[in-house]
A and B are shown apart, each in its own frame.
Chain A
């Protein structure tokens, strides 16, 4: 089986990857982020998946024009590492207000790798790399 993508995705990748990026090469491809943090953005959580390989937060974000988009934020670390730093499967529940800064995905404009995150105004730890 081949992990294929549409030609449009290739074009999008080529057009966006003019900035410095860092990759998570343990996924075989396409998990690549800009190196400059953006945000913060604030949204309302709709789903929280505390599972491997990386924890995922889905939330609705309304931009300055009043347009709502569904964003996906992922953590760099696994649930096991996060669990040892205070996270659990109930750290975020639908309806929570989530504010985060993030590294932007190279080709998916509403996907980011979490740099910092607050849930209902309370921070959750995400940087353990020392």
Chain B
């Protein structure tokens, strides 16, 4: 019995060591750095039209409620199987993308998807595209009382380290943002759980689970999004990709009609 317990402990320790890529312990500092997305999906999940040049396993549609389906139908994307010229993607108007779309944005290296900056009691996550950012409180606090939550684009986030994983929970979202470029909606009641896991010295894996009973009939988990650490970025000037409405509109007119620079 004692031997079995010892073996079980040894196996568990071995697994943990493998998961922590040789480290005995892990903390918020182990997630620091500039991370470039390397996985192919630019959508929240493996839904129809989510790939970029890479064929994945068969896609599946989101578990919509009736309200969710109606909201999805009202969103008119410019990309994917529902793309159309008459569109209402908030991104095209330089509106904030919201937390989930910040994590799903198309940007690839040499652009940085995001930088994680741990500080005592709080992690900052800077998104390069649109130069947006969010805070993740790591000081053990709880969410504000529901009557004190006012919907925000990136919500309210609290995090903790569990084994080799940084777990971040968020609530309180402005429901005008889309989850991704395909027009998947969410409500103000959306709850997000992000699980960041270091799967190698320069690799990070993220899965996101959305619980939003108004829009989705069951919790909906994203594909596993993979990121590579960009060590060179740590010494480089930031890029500052803002969305300037005048420049964005001018660019879209230029492309759409050809040959117009305002």
Cβ contact within 8 Å between B110 and A5:
no
Q: Which of A3, A51, A56 contacts B88 (CB 8 A)?
A: A3
Given contacts A13-B85, A25-B181, A29-B92, contact A52 B242 (CB under 8 A): yes
Given contacts A23-B79, A47-B261, contact A111 B85 (CB under 8 A): no
CB interface residues, B 227-262, toward A, < 8 Å: 236, 239-244, 247-248, 251-252, 254-259, 261
CB contacts (< 8 Å) of B91 on chain A: these are 26-28
In the complex, the answer to whether A58 meets B108 with C-beta atoms within 8 Å is no
Assembled-state Cα–Cα distance A105/B252 (Å) = 12
Are A3 and B255 CB-contacts (below 8 A) given A10-B85, A47-B261? no
B258 cross-chain contacts in A, Cβ below 8 A: 70, 72, 105, 108-111
Q: Do the beta carbons of A25 and B256 come within 8 Å of each other?
A: no
Q: Are A31 and B89 in contact (CB under 8 A)?
A: no
Report which of A31, A70, A84 forms a contact with B252, defined as CB distance below 8 A: A31
- Measured between beta carbons, the chain B residues less than 8 angstroms from A2 are 86-88
For chain B, residues 65 to 104, give those with C-beta under 8 angstroms from any C-beta of chain A.
77-79, 83-93
Q: Is the CB of B85 within 8 A of A80?
A: no
- Residue of A whose beta carbon sits closest to that of B244: A52
Q: Which residues of B contact A30 (CB under 8 A)?
A: 78, 85, 87, 252, 255-256
B196 within 8 A of A: no
Q: Which of A23, A28, A78 contacts B92 (CB 8 A)?
A: A28
The reply to whether A27 and B247 contact each other, CB–CB distance below 8 Å, is no
Q: A23-B79, A30-B85, A49-B261 are in contact. Are A108 and B256 (CB under 8 A)?
A: yes
Is B105 a contact of A26 with CB atoms below 8 Å?
yes
Cross-chain contact A81 with B78 (CB below 8 angstroms)? no
In the complex, B53 has a CB within 8 A of chain A:
yes
A130 to B232, CA, bound (A): 14
- A54-82 CB mask vs B (1 if < 8 Å, else 0) is 10101000000000001110100110110
Contact B86 A27 (CB under 8 A): no
Instruction: Produce 1/0 per residue, A96-130, CB < 8 A to B.
Output: 00000000010111110000000000000000111
Partner of A4, one of B53, B86, B90, B109: B86
**With the chains together, A117 CA to B82 CA distance in Å?**
34
State whether A31 touches B239 (Cβ < 8 A): no
Q: Which residue of B lies closest to A3 (CB)?
A: B92
In the assembled complex, A16 has its CB within 8 A of some CB on chain B = no
A92 to B258, CA, bound (A): 19
Distance of A44 from chain B, by nearest CB (Å): 14
Interface residues of B (CB under 8 A from A): 42, 52-53, 77-79, 83-93, 105-111, 129, 181, 236, 239-244, 247-248, 251-252, 254-259, 261
Query: Contacts A3-B78, A31-B255 given; 18 further ones with Cβ under 8 A?
Result: A1-B93, A3-B89, A3-B93, A4-B86, A9-B85, A10-B85, A10-B86, A25-B78, A26-B91, A27-B78, A27-B92, A30-B252, A30-B255, A51-B247, A53-B241, A56-B251, A77-B110, A78-B111
Could you jot down 18 A-B contacts, CB within 8 Å?
A3-B87, A3-B92, A28-B78, A28-B89, A29-B89, A30-B78, A32-B79, A47-B261, A53-B247, A74-B255, A78-B239, A107-B256, A108-B256, A108-B258, A109-B258, A110-B259, A128-B110, A130-B110
